[in-house]
Amino acid sequence: MLVLDGKALAATIKEELKQEVDVIRQAAGKIPHLAAILVGDNPASQVYVRNKVRSCEQIGFRSTLIRMPEDVTQSEILTEVAKLNNDPDVDGFIVQLPLPKHIDEDQINLAIEPRKDVDGFTPVNIGLMTLGLPSYLPATPNGIMTMLERYGIQTTGKEVVVLGRSNIVGTPMTVLLSRKGEPGNATVTLCHSRTEDMAFHTKRADILIAAIGRPEMITADMVKEGAVIIDVGINRVDDATKKRGYRLCGDIDYAGLESKVSAMTPVPGGVGPMTVVSLLMNTLQASKS
């Protein structure tokens, strides 16, 4: 089985980005600047943002982190978004999700200037992506597409099953994989929580992309021999044998599938690092526009 090592691939791409930033610096050009708004104390969000800031430092980007308290008002977040929209020095920015329950995420997303939407979540960028026009692609789907391309996983003519219909991963994934090109040109089936007999679909998949948020729900009996597995899920499961009292796992039963599939992403160390790299690629693109 080929391990689709996102951590190693991300390190390679970061080095490529660093070299490009070094050239910009030597030419006295504008150094890419990524900003992030972090609301509250969600542990996972703090880890994600910390990784993004560290990655910026590694490749020579400038970065700004704006922290806001859990009880922040919607208008206060919108004020910060407006400042970043109008700051010519900031090339792109993200508002880290999830936001507290009293905040309307859609309203925040709609307020982001599309040309600075390096997460690729605004309707303008989603619409351009759907039409196959130049846009900032959503970070996680773009990371998966980059991984498929760099590891030489062919998608043309393949049966792809995507589990999960979120606007962040599942839905854009189906669009990207069905577009003309390689990776792409696939026949894509989207499954979700209301899908009946999910195993019927997963057993047909040449490539299975799991982003449904249920720990190790996809087992060996649900996957065909030689399939390629992309596991987007990252779940905490209680484990008394671990020092922290829990372990991280994906939506796939990794141990049960190792001997059956041809290639698979680990959790952690698979899709996550590629998401960060995609954000950096979008920011570099934004700095040039």
Residues marked as catalytic: 52, 96, 119
| Residues 224/199, Cβ–Cβ less than 8 Å | no
Say whether 1 sits in a helix, a strand or coil. coil
Number of neighbours of residue 215 by Cβ within 10 angstroms: 17
> How many Cα atoms within 13 Å fall on the side-chain side of residue 163?
31
Collect all residues with Cβ–Cβ distance below 8 Å to 176 and sequence separation of at least 6.
129, 137, 141, 142, 145, 183, 184
Residue 229 assigned as binding residue? no
Residue 165 assigned as binding residue? yes
Residue 75 assigned as binding residue? no
Distance CA 194, CA 206 (A): 22
β-bridge mates for residue 65, sequence order:
36
Report the sign of the C-alpha dihedral through residues 57, 61, 67, 72, in that order.
Answer: negative
Closest CA to 263 of 221, 231, 218: 231
Residue 214 assigned as binding residue? no
Backbone angles phi, psi at 68, to 5 degrees: -135, 145
Distance CA 230, CA 252 (A): 9
Q: Binding site membership for NADP(+): which residues?
A: 164-166, 234
Annotated binding site: 164-166, 234
